[in-house]
Amino acid sequence: MPIDKPAGKTGQMTVNISNIRVGEGCLRLGIYDTPEAFANKNTGGPYGKMIRPLLQTEETVVIPNLPYGRYVLALYQDCNDNGKLDTNFFGVPTEPYAFSNSPGNKWRSPSFADAVISFTPENSRITLQLRTWKQR
């Protein structure tokens, strides 16, 4: 699937994050522009961001000069600051997380197609609500 990115056209993406556990670790946000980058989540995509300190239940992150196109946003609260999304024995996340486009199936990780959004001048504000696996 080709990614539509007009050459030289960039904008400011505003990401509103809610339901933060105050005082627990940090937030880790990855923005992925291809299915391959999303499959290798360790890269953080073309833009990766760590947010701390967590002093409030809501946060706004502004990403300047991001090329318009299609992206997946993946966010988790790294409550114990170990640099990864912790999971239990069955692979179920034990820390709060969120994806763009709010994919509905909690029984598997979303695909790029499940979570992709179009970042355009008209669609530049994204909302992510952190929730645990049990809250989904």
pLDDT for 42 equals 64
Tell the residue number behind the tokens 């299609």, with chain if given. Answer: 70
Is residue 104's pLDDT more than 90?
no
Mean pLDDT, all residues of the chain: 88
DSSP 46: T
pLDDT for 80 equals 95
User: What's the average model confidence in pLDDT over 50-72?
Assistant: 93
Please state which of the ranges 38-42, 67-71, 96-100 shows the lowest mean pLDDT: 38-42
DSSP assignment string, 51-105: E----SSEEEEEEEEEESEEEEEEEEEETT-SSS--B-TTS-B-S-EEETT----
List residues bridging with 29 in a β-sheet: 49, 75
Percent of the chain with pLDDT over 70: 90
User: Using alpha carbons only, what angle is made at residue 44 by residues 92 and 120, rounded to the nearest 5 degrees?
Assistant: 105
Confidence of residue 6 (pLDDT cuts 50, 70, 90): low
Closest alpha carbon to 75 in 10, 35, 134, 127: 127
User: What's the average model confidence in pLDDT over 77-86?
Assistant: 94
**CATH ID of 10-135, from 3.40.50, 2.40.50, 2.60.120, 2.60.40:** 2.60.40
pLDDT for 44 equals 66
Query: What six digits make up the tokens of 11?
Result: 């904008």
Tell the residue number behind the tokens 């669609």, with chain if given. Answer: 123
SS3 18: strand
pLDDT for 4 equals 53
Rounded Cα distance between 70 and 56, Å, is: 30
Is residue 7's pLDDT more than 80?
no
Query: Which residue ranges make up each domain of the chain?
Result: 10-135
